[in-house]
Chain A
């Protein structure tokens, strides 16, 4: 799942990893869309974190479809 933080809470995009492996067109389209959003938000300065149950949070630079959850945090500045 890709979660993008915004003023609306968070926008979510999910995909089925198993369906992707079987070549399901809808699942592939979902993952391509997630990848596009990931790149777009990263270009705007967002930071991406990978969250997998039972593992420490990890900052990531590249989109990883095997991640349980990817959270995109908007660019931050000193307040």
Chain B
């Protein structure tokens, strides 16, 4: 009887561990990834490219806002993790853009890529990106 109860307790703990581990992985995953060599190198480039104010915005707000070099009321909102780049005009989202390199890049490099292309190559950036208009 005692052995059966011990076995059941152990089994319960195994089930709990199995149920919790995916959630734990979701929490820990960004930290593990940020510690990888490629992410570290990409983060170095990101730090070298952004101002301290832009780094703060990225960290606290989860995105980087890049003003359009050609349209004064336009801002590109680049997310910290992969996803659509929002195009805002007068504070309203007018479209979302999707653009990706042919080769996989770490997340931090993706932010640098968007920043460089928007600031120095906006026309090509817009030509190449797939656009999803926001009609609301």
Contact = CB atoms under 8 A, between A and B. Distances in A.
Contacts of B104: 7
Interface in A26-57: 45, 47, 49, 51, 56-57
Contact of B100 (A3, A5, A10, A77): A77
* Interface of chain B: mostly helix, strand, loop or mixed: helix
Interface centre among A6, A45, A51 (most CB of B within 10 A): A6
A7 B48 CA distance: 18
A7 B98 CA distance: 19
A78 interface: yes
A65 interface: no
A59 B100 CA distance: 18
Given A6-B105, A7-B38, A10-B41, A73 B119 contact: no
Contacts of B42: 5, 9-10
Contacts of A10: 41-42, 44-45, 109
A73 B106 contact: no
Nearest to A59: B120
Interface centre among B102, B112, B120 (most CB of A within 10 A): B120
A71 B95 CA distance: 28
Interface in B32-79: 37-42, 44-45, 48-49, 69
8 contacts: A6-B103, A6-B105, A9-B42, A9-B44, A9-B106, A74-B103, A79-B100, A79-B130
Interface of B: 37-42, 44-45, 48-49, 69, 98-106, 109, 112-113, 115-117, 119-121, 124, 128-130
Interface of A: 3, 5-10, 45, 47, 49, 51, 56-59, 69, 71, 73-79
